[in-house]
Structure 1
């Protein structure tokens, strides 16, 4: 599991984890000498620890119109589930001392930041259309970025974002959030399909006849997303809204440092 809070900077400094032994120099006190290591040679050695700092984690949940879809009254919309996961992950990370923020906003630590994040999610303005994408210009060096979306619209934006992310040392996670109906495609007979924005419509006389082709396209999209993530050193996962959110939260928490 990811240990939230302190993260190594790969150099000596304040921290808890061992970094390296180095020969003692003028100014090192007797307390700083590692006498056990020094006893194995004719020199005195100091045990350095690795400098650590709280990492900055930024989160982005799609507000595209398609995210408001739910296939059943007893299931949350994709947008509601993505926002829940965003806030839950933020709370876990903040509890560990991380600096957390929504993409494009300052990443901060502390209890007050949890309130800011909740307010930001509640007041987030949905996109006017089906398309929605995070801005590559909002990325900052060495952040960790978590993106939650259904990734059902044109994903061309992802390549540009991952290219900029690689240049800035930004690593992260892609989480595809879908309604189970979007996985199984349970439709049959005459069905009028339309996007939530109304921009795309398809009138089918035999919806069941589309199932195999639809699921093949979905699998193709998912393979493409996984390949894009892996080529950038990121992680890719998927979650459906009929499953317990704790499962997705646990996975996100574990891979965030991967």
Structure 2
């Protein structure tokens, strides 16, 4: 037991710094400036002037600004209450797939995206956590905790993952990162539970280019990462159109499920620049406010 714990600790120590360094470097490439909530409310920072409406208390009127016009203006401050954001990164065996030795597995890209997004949000004053693993908290220490959790996360023996909703804060935000190639009933159930709590967010489907393009021909043996599913064919090329049609239907279904509960959906390929996916995720969360 002691030797096993020591081996795991040493492995984590070797993995954590590169993952965290890469995530922080990725976050730094997304030039977002000051993290603005762009919403009126309680806070210290000036946001904008707006014309006074009937019923606005006199104490809210900015008399100096109003003196320069024929109408009264209210000085609004930027909303600065921290939000709680819960991340779920699919740990299933399906995420270990890579269609090329030159590309990292889907799981590596999903973890990098999750941690880089956490860095951006935490630096902006939000609270971030991992579903079922780490409750949402703020501060630099939380970045280290999340990095340790993600770097040390073991593989789920199942072929496909089911989104976890444990630890979500009511009326908070959430992000699910997965290939979403398993049964969609699990995704629908998780989105329903999130909606019941007033949680809104984003689904980010992470796929390898081979899963998107189906570049197979001739005799091929298809086998799931956990070995539970296996199919052999001598004419793989004839399956391409059917496969691409089924994949398109799945994406459309995921998009429909997301829209139904006020979430957003996007697909990211591990062969594409990661910065665009990170920026989309950040803006998806901002747009859900």
- Work out the CA distance in 2 between the residues paired with 1:88 and 1:51: 24
Matched, 1:87 2:115: yes
Q: Distance in 1 between matches of 2:98 and 2:121?
A: 29
Q: How far has the Cα of 1:131 moved from its partner?
A: 2.5
Residue of structure 2 in register with 1:208 after alignment: 237
What displacement does 1:2 show? 7.4
**Alignment partner of 1:61 out of 89, 114, 127:** 89
Deviation at 1:167, TM superposition (A): 2.1
Whose strand fraction is larger, Structure 1's or Structure 2's?
A: 1
Normalised by the length of structure 2, the TM-score is 0.78
What is the rounded CA distance, in whole Å, between the counterparts of 1:3 and 1:256 in structure 2? Answer: 16
TM-score where L is the length of structure 1: 0.87
Distance in 2 separating the partners of 1:135 and 1:95: 25
Unmatched tracts of structure 2, length 5 or more: 1-30
8 Å CA contact 2:191–2:261 kept in 1: the answer is yes
Alpha-carbon shift at residue 47 of structure 1 (Å) = 4.2
Displacement after TM superposition at 1:46 (Å): 6.8
Residue 258 (structure 2) aligns with? 229
Aligned residue for 1:249? 278
Residue 17 (1) aligns with residue 51 (2): no
**Worse overlay, 209-218 or 91-100:** 91-100
Unaligned runs of 5+ in 1: none
3-state DSSP of counterpart to 1:86: helix
Match of 1:165 in 2: 194
Equivalences, count? 252
Q: Is 1:196–2:225 an aligned residue pair?
A: yes
Alpha-carbon distance between aligned partners in 2 of 1:210 and 1:15, rounded to the nearest angstrom: 58
Please, which moves more after superposition, 83-92 or 210-219? 83-92
Do the aligned residues in 2 keep the contact of 1:13 with 1:48 (CA within 8 Å)? no
Residue 155 of structure 1 is matched in structure 2 by 184
